Amino acid sequence: MGEKTAKLLSILKLQPVVPVLIVEDAKSAVPLARALVAGGLKAIEITLRTAGALDAIRAVAEEVEGAEVGAGTILNVSQWDAAVEAGSKFIVSPGTTQELLDAARSSHVPLLPGAATASEVMALREEGYTVLKFFPAEQAGGAAYLKALSSPLAGTIFCPTGGISLKNAHDYLSLPNVVCIGGSWVAPKELVAAGDWAGITKLAAEAAALKG
């Protein structure tokens, strides 16, 4: 196992659920991340889908003790460089391009690349990747699809993300080829807007207690 793969796995194995966050206001990032860490969710993915995402990553990286912050929705090299410069400990992409693979190869930060088909998984395995994001999980076939991949593509481990909630989390976590799942339900927009950090800590603790 490569050093970067080991580093990535050590982050993903911290908890059963990695919060996938769309942070509209960078000011809320620090109390939000602290609330998640307090509930037991230390690995946190902040997606680059908002103007304040990089500021949010930087603030969490600098100010939140115990947090392992990563950047999601990375689509190109300029985003990769900006996310790493902001302090991201890991990078997540919804799919994969040669450009991103090249950036990952020359970086010290591990990549969790997205794949949705057997062919994409095989191509990434040829590049040396054995830990992948399965995205969009529910829309691409769900837990049943991922289970079907476990035998022919043995040795590949997934973090499924997309359409996963408390309701179907166990379906994924019970699979032998799933290391953790990504979910946004632990930080609902209305609780973030209301500054209900105790409510988010409660949801995080509930997620942290999930078992396969």
CA nearest to 182, candidates 120, 97, 93: 93
Per-residue model confidence (pLDDT) at position 43: 98
Residues taking part in catalysis:
45, 133
Peptide bond into 176 cis (omega under 30): no
Q: What local confidence, expressed as pLDDT, does residue 26 receive?
A: 94
pLDDT at position 170 is 97
Predicted pLDDT at 74: 98
Query: What residue ranges define each of the domains in the chain, with the CATH number in brackets?
Result: 3-208 (3.20.20.70)
Is it the case that residue 155 has pLDDT exceeding 80? yes
What pLDDT does residue 212 have? 76
Q: What does the pLDDT look like over 53-80, one tens digit per residue?
A: 999 999 999 999 999 999 999 999 999 9
pLDDT of residue 19: 98
pLDDT in tens, 128-145: 999 999 999 999 999 999
Q: Is the pTM of this model over 0.95?
A: yes
- What's the rounded mean pLDDT across residues 162-185? 98
Given a cut of 90, whether residue 1 has pLDDT beyond it is no
Please report, rounded to a whole number, the percentage of residues in the chain having pLDDT higher than 90: 99
